[in-house]
Amino acid sequence: MEWPTAEVVRMSGVTARTLRHYDAIGLLPPARTGAGGLRYYGEPQLLRLQQILVLRELGLGLGDIGRVLAEQVDAVEALRGHHRRLLTERDRLDTLATTVSRTIAELEQSGKDDAPMTINRPENLFEGVQPEQYQESLRDFPAHAERVARHVEGSSPEDIEAGQRERTARMIRLAELRAEGHAADSAPVQAEVDAHYRLLSALRPVTAEEHLAMGRSVVDNPDWRAAYEAIAPGLAAFQRDAIEAYTADRLG
């Protein structure tokens, strides 16, 4: 049985443009092309598309996905491997969600009766957030990733942990500003983006185009999106919009 592009789009949620791109780069050719250039996909192609989407959710780039699919021989064994990676990622996200839930509960409890909000065990903030995942998430920006890697190599474990804590704290501050009703282009939010941009630029110059791409990656990169959404639903898009506003206003 074969399905035209429109049916594959409906079943998978992938756009026709994406399917054309996958075909153009040799990642997912259709089973055949009919009259008028209409593409048709069979069961093998749908299975391959499923694997592509799973690997994308696991954070692999299209080049890496192509290499993984080219190396695999047994489709069932390949799916078992994807399943194991999904379970590992699920466990990590469960841990991260539990961490954030516990933080919310502690803040709510300590904030009762106008008491100052405190966290009983600050180290709990960072369970499930691993510093090496930050470096991996920069794979779409190789020049910056290389500079970050050199910086990490010259840093002490304490400095690395402090940097990770600050990244998480910054995400929480954005979530708080959003919850208070501040828009992405508001002064308090833009001050947070400015502080982050200055940190990025301290490692190496970051162009306006690269900064915009990094903002989009907060939503498009599964690792970044998962980390932001674990703190507050919609936070990833809020960060992207804030970066876009900052880049347009400050970097032109």
Express each pLDDT in 117-161 by its tens digit.
Answer: 443 444 444 444 444 455 555 666 666 667 666 766 666 766 666
Res 120: pLDDT: 40
> Residue 59: pLDDT above 60?
yes
Model pTM score:
0.47
- Three-class SS of 130-186: CHHHHHHCCCCCHHHHHHHHHHHHCCCHHHHHHHHHHHHHHHHHHHHHHHCCCCCCC
Token digits of residue 53: 């989407």
Cα distance between residue 45 and residue 39, in whole Å: 11
Q: Where along the chain do its domains lie? A: 2-72, 78-128, 131-252
Asked if CATH classification 1.10.1660.10 holds for the domain at 2-72, the reply, yes or no, is: yes
Q: Report d(CA 186, CA 179) in Å as an integer.
A: 13
- Better pLDDT: 16 or 161: 16
149 HSE (CA, 13 A, CB side):
12
In contact, 208 and 201? CB cutoff 8 Å: no
User: pLDDT digit string (tens) for 61-76?
Assistant: 788 888 888 876 566 6
The residue that leads in pLDDT, 158 or 18, is 18
Gap between the Cα atoms of 178 and 234, Å rounded: 9
Question: Cβ of 119: how many Cβ atoms within 10 Å?
Answer: 13
Q: How far apart are CA 134 and CA 221, in angstroms?
A: 11
Model confidence band, residue 41 (pLDDT cutoffs 50, 70, 90): very high
229 or 143, which is more confident:
229
Instruction: Give, in order, the Cα–Cα distances in Å from 14 to each of 17, 46, 58, 105, 224.
Output: 8, 12, 17, 38, 20
Q: Say how far residue 233 (Cα) sits from the centre of its chain.
A: 13
Residue 204 has pLDDT above 90, yes or no: no
Q: What percent of the chain has pLDDT over 90?
A: 21
Q: Can you tell me the mean pLDDT for 189-206?
A: 86
When computed from its CA atoms, the radius of gyration of the chain, rounded to whole angstroms, is: 21
- Residue 96 is predicted with a pLDDT of 66
Query: Is the pLDDT higher at 199 or at 111?
Result: 199
